[in-house]
Structure formats: structure tokens, C-alpha cells
Structure 1
Amino acid sequence: MSLIAIVDIAHPDLALTPTIRERPDASIEVIPHSTTDPETGLFFFLVEGTDETFDDALDRDHTVANWTLVDDLGSTRIYRLQHTDETKLISPTTTELGGLMLKAESNDRGWTVRLHLPDRDAIATLWEFCEETDISFELHRMFRQNEWSNGLTPKLTDEQQAALVSAYEDGYFEEPRETSLEELADQLDISPTAVGGRIRRGTGKLVEMTLLED
């Protein structure tokens, strides 16, 4: 029976890690369909909470061979990237094992990924691959596919939990609101757009966890 695994991965040469560490104010998410074909060499990323200065970080990132801005919606941007040969990736190995990367979001050190894998052997093989290539592999949660279908979803990231708890405690969800995104941003030391993105994605995960039956 297939499994869902929630894993934190980290390494200085993992895709976009230099940019993630240089720009912790930005929230980066892989657009997942692009990771299902490791032969293309092209990956798409959704970036929230940033502006054109993010491009400078990409120029300095040794994991980025070239990049193209696909769409600019102000504080939300979509990029198409091609990585350098020395960039470390787990998506090709995941695909070779018969798995799929369902989601990948940046965290303070690297990436939090949600993987669909056929069995425990595949997870063990992926862990061995990461061990051999010095990629930090921290398994947070693993559950069977039928449990996933019954509404058990992965826990919130630390950043999403911090944003939601701060918003709740400071009255962001009250009517009328007792705080603003700008005030929460000052408290969390990130941009208002990043706060809004974390609240939105965290709320979405809570809805999946508590309200959806299928």
C-alpha cells in the first residue's frame, strides 16, 4: 500500500538553498507538475513575499544555471529555472522509485517536501540516497494512503503555525480585526505578504485536516 511521507531536506547544494537562506522573507513553493519529468531539466517555482530584488539572489545562487520570470503579480512571482550540474535534487530519485513529489515548500534551512511513495522500501532507499549524498533527511510524518484519503494531512510547518498562532492571539480573526498583517509582519520579522501567505496556506491545511472527508 502506498505511503505519504513528510520530510525536511537540507544541503547547501540543494536547489535554491542559497537563495532560501539569503532571502528568508520569501516563501518559495515548487509547482509540482514540473518535477514529475526529471529529463526536462526545467523546474517552476512560485515565490511570494518578494519583489524584483529577488532576481539578484537568483543571479548569485550557484544552483541556478539560468532563470526566466514567467509571471509577475507584484509580490507573487513565477519563475522557470534550470539548475547547474552540481545541484542536488531528490525529485529524479523519487520518480525512479515510482514516487511523486506532491509538494515542496521552503523552510529556514532548505525544503519541506510531501512525497507519495509506493512502500516503506522506497522511503528507505530514498533515505539511503540522501545519506550517501550528505543531504539531511528528517522524516516528520508517514502514513498510509488510505489514511491520507480519510483526511489525515501533514502538520503545519513551523512558520505557518507561528503565523496562525500570532494571528489568533493578536485578534486577526476577530470582527473587527484587532491587528493587521503589517503588525504581524513586524512581530514575525517578515513581509506582510509572507505573513498572509503563511496564514492562507496554514488555514488551507487545517481545512484539509478537519473538514474534508475525501
Structure 2
Amino acid sequence: MTTVAQLVVPTEDVMLSETFAALPELDVRVKTVAADGPHQTMPLVWITGASKRQIRNALSDDSSIKEFTSLLEHDASEWLYRLEYTADLEALFSAVFTNNGTILDAECSADAWTFHLLFSDRGLLSEAIPQLEDHGLQIEITRMIGADRNTDLGAMTLTEAQENAIREAYERGYYDVPRQLSLEELAAELDVSHQALSERLRRANKVLASEQFDKLESDGLVQ
């Protein structure tokens, strides 16, 4: 059966741990993970939380980054980069692709990378995990879901950042009536951009609503 898995890997096992160490307030959002030929995969990431010069210096000093290219700029405070990693990180992506897996999306924090992977068969996922661990990667499967052609893949997974965002929004009164603070105020308190927080809450709400509807449907309460 087609399977979507959420894998968490320590940042130090993937890339950017040295960049986060140099700039702890950095906010990194993975726009996409794009293939550039059969053997190289380039993460495209939005980075904010420091000046462009500071980000450039941190990436230059990061031993996990082979090359980086600045592609776009937003409001002179957020930049889109294409990252090329060093050769030893190829193991993570090759283990996925050689087992006919697909990277749906990814998210990065100072502590961990979270990957959402799709495999045409659960057995192929089982083949990929030992290959990753053989390369010294610490893999934690935090979620695994069967999928079919009617499944909305974009609404299946709740990332760590989305979970944290919706928890903070709930605890700080963003969902109260009346609201205790605005989205802009919440973003400022969490030290993330308004755009990033809005996207995280939107995705998180969609995931939770989908899960609740599926539960009601399985219980026979809706048809």
C-alpha cells in the first residue's frame, strides 16, 4: 500500500547545524526539495532572522554546505537560497530515491530536519530505513499513514514547527473569542515572520481538521 512517512533526522546529521549555531535566531523554511539531475538534490530554503551578510558568512563557514546561491529577496529581510550539500549527505536522498521514494516536503529547525516521504509500498520504506541507519543517520519515524488516490497529501502531515505554532497560538489566546492577540503580535512574540506563521497555522489547521473528519467518518457519525 502507498505509504506516507514523517521522518525526523537531527540537523547535525543533515545540514545547517553550524549555521544555526552561529545564528541561533535564524528561521529557515524549506520551500521545496528540487532534483538537479539523477544524483543531486537541491533544497530551496527561505532564511530570515539575520542580515544577508551574516547569513552569507554563516553558510560560507558551514562545513555541510558545498555551495549556495541567493535566488530571491522578500522585503529586504528574507532570502531564498539554493543549497548544495557536501557529498556525505547524498546517502539520505539516495536511500529514498533508490527505493522509489519521493520527498513530498521538508522542514528544518536548529534541532532536526523533518521529511515527509511517499513510497509506493510500505516494504520499500522498510528497505530505506536500514540503509539510512547504515550511513550513521539517526532516524525517527514519527508518523506513518496509508494513502490512496483520493488522499490529500498536503493535508496528511503536521510538522514540528506547525505543531509548535498551533500550540502557542492556542495557549496565547489567538483562537479565543474575542482574540487575545493578533497574528502579527503572535508572530512577533514567536520571533518568526508573519508570512511563515500564517502558513504554518493554515497547514496545521488543515491537518487537524482532516484528522477530525476522518475520525468522525470512521465512527459512522458523518457520511
TM-score range, shorter chain: 0.7 to 0.9
TM-score of the pair, normalised by structure 2: 0.76
Aligned counterparts of 2:133 and 2:150: Cα–Cα separation in 1: 27
CA deviations 1:124-183 (Å, max 9, x no partner) are 221111211110100011111129706794453333223222223333346775325565
Closer, same or farther: CA 133–67 of 1 in aligned 2, 3 Å? same
Q: Tell which deviates more after alignment, 55-64 or 199-208.
A: 199-208
Closer, same or farther: CA 122–198 of 1 in aligned 2, 3 Å? farther
Q: State the SS of the aligned residue for 1:18.
A: helix
Gaps of 5+ in 2: 214-223
Closer, same or farther: CA 156–13 of 1 in aligned 2, 3 Å? closer
Aligned counterparts of 2:155 and 2:15: Cα–Cα separation in 1: 25
Aligned residue runs from structure 1 range 136-147, under 5 A: 136-146=138-148
Gaps of 5+ in 1: none
TM-score of the pair, normalised by structure 1: 0.79
Give me the identity figure in percent: 23
CA deviation after TM superposition for structure 1 residue 103, in Å: 0.5
Letter in 2 for 1:2: T
- Structure ID, larger Rg: 2
* Larger RCO (CA under 8 A, 6+ residues apart): 1
CA deviations 1:80-136 (Å, max 9, x no partner) are 222222335422221111110001101332210000012222112211112111101
The count of aligned residue pairs is 208
Residue equivalent to 1:171: 173
Matched, 1:105 2:107: yes
Closer, same or farther: CA 200–20 of 1 in aligned 2, 3 Å? same
Q: Tell which deviates more after alignment, 195-204 or 60-69.
A: 195-204
Superposition RMSD on alpha carbons, in Å? 3.1
Letter in 1 for 2:19: T
Aligned counterparts of 1:17 and 1:138: Cα–Cα separation in 2: 18
Letter in 1 for 2:7: V
Q: State the SS of the aligned residue for 1:146.
A: coil
Residue equivalent to 2:78: 76
Aligned residue runs from structure 1 range 38-57, under 5 A: 38-39=38-39, 41=40, 43-50=42-49, 51-52=51-52, 53-57=54-58
Aligned counterparts of 2:41 and 2:167: Cα–Cα separation in 1: 36
Q: Tell which deviates more after alignment, 17-26 or 136-145.
A: 17-26
CA deviations 1:25-52 (Å, max 9, x no partner) are 31231513x137443x351422243341
CA deviation after TM superposition for structure 1 residue 207, in Å: 1.8
Pick one of 109, 114, 117 that aligns with 2:119: 117
Letter in 2 for 1:29: V
Closer, same or farther: CA 27–198 of 1 in aligned 2, 3 Å? farther
Aligned counterparts of 1:9 and 1:133: Cα–Cα separation in 2: 12
Aligned counterparts of 2:65 and 2:38: Cα–Cα separation in 1: 16
